[in-house]
Amino acid sequence: MVMHYFLIMESSTVTRHSQVTIPKAIRDAMEISEGDKVKMTIVEEEGKKKKIVVEKIDADVWSDCSDFLPEDFGKLLSSIRADSRSRFKRLGIIP
């Protein structure tokens, strides 16, 4: 059984351009400010109405991902580009 706890419930109107303003009480509670990214997810439980869940995306989520590319990635990328150029030349796609 899923338990839902509503701390703040607000409503908003969808504009003709499909824009929605997040109410101030929710922005304040979620510490959302101008320029922040949010993720919206549709949640559906069997036999119940669909709901939209809004989550603030952590800007630092990628800060620990500095070493996911190989050290020689620049060299690898250059070789891939060089190989495709020679292949395109052989195929007559580029002069």
pLDDT digits (tens, 9 = 90+) for 35-85: 898 999 999 888 888 888 888 888 776 666 667 777 888 888 888 777 777
Question: Of 54, 12, 52, which Cα lies nearest the Cα of 29?
Answer: 54
- Here the contacts of 12-17 (C-beta below 8 Å, separation 24 or greater) are none
Query: Which band of pLDDT confidence, cut at 50, 70 and 90, is reported for residue 17?
Result: very high
**Higher local confidence (pLDDT), 8 or 17:** 17
Helices and strands in the chain, H and E counts: 2, 2
User: What is this structure's pTM?
Assistant: 0.52
**pLDDT at residue 1 above 60?**
no
Query: Which band of pLDDT confidence, cut at 50, 70 and 90, is reported for residue 4?
Result: low
**pLDDT at residue 9 above 70?**
yes
Which pLDDT value is given to residue 66? 65
Question: Of 1, 8, 2, which Cα lies nearest the Cα of 54?
Answer: 8
